[in-house]
Amino acid sequence: MGPGVILGVDVGTTAVRASTFALDGTVRHVATRTYPLLQPVPGWQVQDPDVLVAATLEAIATCVADTAGPEVVALALSSAMYGLIGLDADMTPKTPLLTWRDSRSSEAARDLWTSGQSQELHRLTGTPVHPKSPLCKLLWFARHEPYLCTTTRWWIGLKDYVLHRLTGRLVTELSSASGTGMLDVHRRVWSPAVLDLVGVSESQLPPVLATTALLRLSAAAGRAVGLPAGTPVVPGAGDGPSGNLGAAAIDSAVGGLTLGATGALRTVVAAPLTDPAESLFCAALTEDAWVVGGSVGNGANVVRWAGRALAPDLHPTSRDGRPEPELLRLAERVPPGSDGLVMLPYLRADRAPAGGSGPPGAYLGLRSEHTRGHLVRAAVEGVCLQLGGVRDRLAELTPISSVRLTGGAFRAPLWREVMAAVLDCPAQVAGETDDAALGAAALGLFAIGLATDLKGAVALLDPEGARTEPITVDPSLATAYRGLRAKLPALVTVVGRLGEILDEVAAGPGVDWRVGATPRDTLGG
């Protein structure tokens, strides 16, 4: 028999990743299963909840089978936040899972901003008013599906549905609840005022447990995954807070920056914290550890787009979807600042602008001397500058003295160099372990009493994680990017106004300029 293992399961937007972490500090096995993200109507991004559950059970079962031998001491979860599912009284989904990418509630979000309610809602709940929040999704259902609202018994999130299928109990946990926009994060209870606003009763929402609560695997789920009934199941936290824990970015003034298809920078504080600009999110890791930070909706995907559009001859994506070195080597030959070329990397509507879709993507300062290498480097710099802006907003609330970088993009020297220079503070590249799954496992280890604190739990499961690679920053490079970052808000504002003008043009008579739009009849009377 081995030393025992704990299962960390991260149920993401397009894939679930289950990892067994041995208590002697080695990862035993990792299993990943993917599932489709559906778009039945433009702007809608949904999934079949039962498909996600089936994939989760399969990934867990694969890990359990391949781990054969050591006892599984517990199973702990992380999941994507901000999802919403409606259930009937028999726990059958009446709606698909509306993911965080679903933007159908943009109008509801704009109305809350226009009415002036957004500031108080943010202060109370820690979640900015934004189309991705369940609060705005529920307002959309109230406006457009009133009959469905009257016949829906429960409104729950992704994690809640998975927990129900694993344990037979319909509950949520503090981290996921704090991302709904309906939890009073200061009192840790569902807010009566917000529930009245969205037309939902507290009896339609699951009870809120601690992220370290102990549930038990049901007999049916145990048979499905190959574990004994009664195996401890720890609800865990959302993927953002779990990622910070997995990256060991939980000390005061240490930021955790992750960069994949999207990007985020977060830090841990002792109590809920909200910013006057209403742009930062705050969610629980535990009762006395809260993760505050901001996200950008466009990350390394921007360079993948640039490769497809600008350099298809270089075969820019590898089998795992990451850019091939040849593409980034084009950009490495270009001087920092891309000879005056700036990219605003809003290829898809960014998460940050809460009142609407935000500015369109744009290249600014384009000249004939610019090459595709300039365009690629400007894409990298644009993403990093957006994340630098998140750091600026965080610094107004809490100091950040160093940052740990995680994500596959940072395997590339250019991403590391530019990101560290933009942040202009000590930065290190953390290990390769999936941070959210590791964070879930560490929180689970702490919950069952096999670790005395969260930091110790991470160190026990991932002793190599402390060995990070420091990044040396050229002071002149940091100075150059600091100046560019200071000008970025003005550029975003100007391009945002241009986007509004283009939207007005598209809404009037004439041809719709947007890609994929149907031309309008300009001659009919």
* 8 A C-beta contact, residue 443 and residue 458: no
CA–CA distances in Å: residue 55 to residues 21, 28, 188: 20, 20, 32
Strand, helix or coil at 179?
coil
In the prediction, which pLDDT does 348 show? 78
Percent of the chain with pLDDT over 90: 67
In the prediction, which pLDDT does 517 show? 43
* 8 A C-beta contact, residue 258 and residue 250: no
Percent of the chain with pLDDT over 70: 90
Residue 520 clears pLDDT 60, i.e. is over it: no
* 8 A C-beta contact, residue 221 and residue 170: no
Point out the least confidently predicted range of 10-14, 379-383, 510-514. Answer: 510-514
Q: Cα-Cα-Cα-Cα dihedral of 109, 110, 112, 114, to 10°?
A: 170
Question: In what helix (H) or strand (E) does residue 15 lie, and over which residues does it extend?
Answer: strand 15-22
In the prediction, which pLDDT does 433 show? 60
514: confidence class by pLDDT, cuts 50, 70, 90: very low
Q: Which amino acid is at 52?
A: L
Q: Cα-Cα-Cα-Cα dihedral of 63, 64, 66, 68, to 10°?
A: 150
What the block records as the tokens of 348 is 């898809």
Instruction: Give mean pLDDT, residues 192-212.
Output: 97
Quickly tell me which residue has 């629980």 as its tokens.
284
Q: Does residue 226 come out as left (phi exceeding 0), alpha (psi in the -120 to 50 range) or beta?
A: left
In the prediction, which pLDDT does 509 show? 55
Pairwise CA distance, residues 405 & 259, whole Å: 8
Residue 303 clears pLDDT 50, i.e. is over it: yes
Residue 30 clears pLDDT 50, i.e. is over it: yes
Pairwise CA distance, residues 303 & 225, whole Å: 38
- Spelled out in words, what is the top-level CATH class assigned to the domain 5-239? alpha beta
Per the DSSP assignment, residues forming a β-bridge with 147 are: none
Instruction: Give mean pLDDT, residues 275-297.
Output: 91
In the prediction, which pLDDT does 317 show? 52
* 8 A C-beta contact, residue 34 and residue 55: yes
Which among 215, 204, 206, 228 is positioned nearest to 168, based on CA atoms? 215
Q: Say how many Å lie between the first and final Cα of the chain, rounded.
A: 81
* 8 A C-beta contact, residue 344 and residue 364: yes
Which among 486, 495, 490, 483 is positioned nearest to 364, based on CA atoms? 495
Pairwise CA distance, residues 259 & 15, whole Å: 17
Strand, helix or coil at 70?
coil
Helix and strand element counts for the chain (H, E)? 17, 23
The whole-chain average pLDDT of the chain stands at: 88
In the prediction, which pLDDT does 350 show? 66
Residue 445 clears pLDDT 50, i.e. is over it: yes
Pairwise CA distance, residues 444 & 21, whole Å: 11
441: confidence class by pLDDT, cuts 50, 70, 90: very high
Residue 355 clears pLDDT 80, i.e. is over it: no
Residues near 381 by beta carbon (within 8 Å), at least 6 away in sequence: 336, 337, 338, 342, 343, 418, 422, 481, 484
From the number of C-beta atoms within 10 Å of its C-beta (0-12, 13-18, 19+), residue 505 rates as middle
What fold characterizes domain 250-398+410-426+479-495?
Nucleotidyltransferase; domain 5 (3.30.420)
* 8 A C-beta contact, residue 302 and residue 345: yes
Point out the least confidently predicted range of 88-102, 103-117, 433-447, 496-510. Answer: 496-510
HSE-up (13 A, CA, CB side) for residue 81: 27
Pairwise CA distance, residues 146 & 92, whole Å: 19
CA–CA distances in Å: residue 175 to residues 127, 187, 373, 515: 12, 14, 42, 38
In the prediction, which pLDDT does 155 show? 98
Residue 15 clears pLDDT 80, i.e. is over it: yes
486: confidence class by pLDDT, cuts 50, 70, 90: confident
CATH code 3.30.420.40 region(s) in the chain: 5-239, 250-398+410-426+479-495
Which among 351, 309, 310, 348 is positioned nearest to 330, based on CA atoms? 310
What the block records as the tokens of 152 is 């829906």
Instruction: Give mean pLDDT, residues 114-142.
Output: 95
What the block records as the tokens of 330 is 């084009």
508: confidence class by pLDDT, cuts 50, 70, 90: low
> b/e string for 271-308 if b means 16 or more Cβ within 10 A?
ebbbbeebbbbbbbbbeebbbbbbbbbbbbbbbbbbbe
Pairing of strands 72-79, 232-234: parallel
| Cα angle value 73/77/80 (rounded, 5°) | 170
What the block records as the tokens of 254 is 């240490």
Residue 5 sits at φ, ψ, to 5 deg, of -135, 160
Other C-beta atoms lying within 10 Å of the C-beta of residue 448: 15
HSE-up (13 A, CA, CB side) for residue 222: 15
Residue 87 clears pLDDT 80, i.e. is over it: yes
Pairwise CA distance, residues 311 & 376, whole Å: 9
Residue 511 clears pLDDT 50, i.e. is over it: no
473: confidence class by pLDDT, cuts 50, 70, 90: confident
Question: In what helix (H) or strand (E) does residue 123 lie, and over which residues does it extend?
Answer: helix 118-125
Q: What is the DSSP string of 95-118?
A: S-EE-TT--TTHHHHHHHHHHT-H
The dihedral through the CA atoms of 11, 12, 18, 19 has a sign that is negative
In the prediction, which pLDDT does 357 show? 56
Which pLDDT tens digit goes with each residue over 232-277? 999 999 999 999 999 989 988 999 999 988 899 999 999 998 887 7
324: confidence class by pLDDT, cuts 50, 70, 90: low
466: confidence class by pLDDT, cuts 50, 70, 90: low
422: confidence class by pLDDT, cuts 50, 70, 90: very high
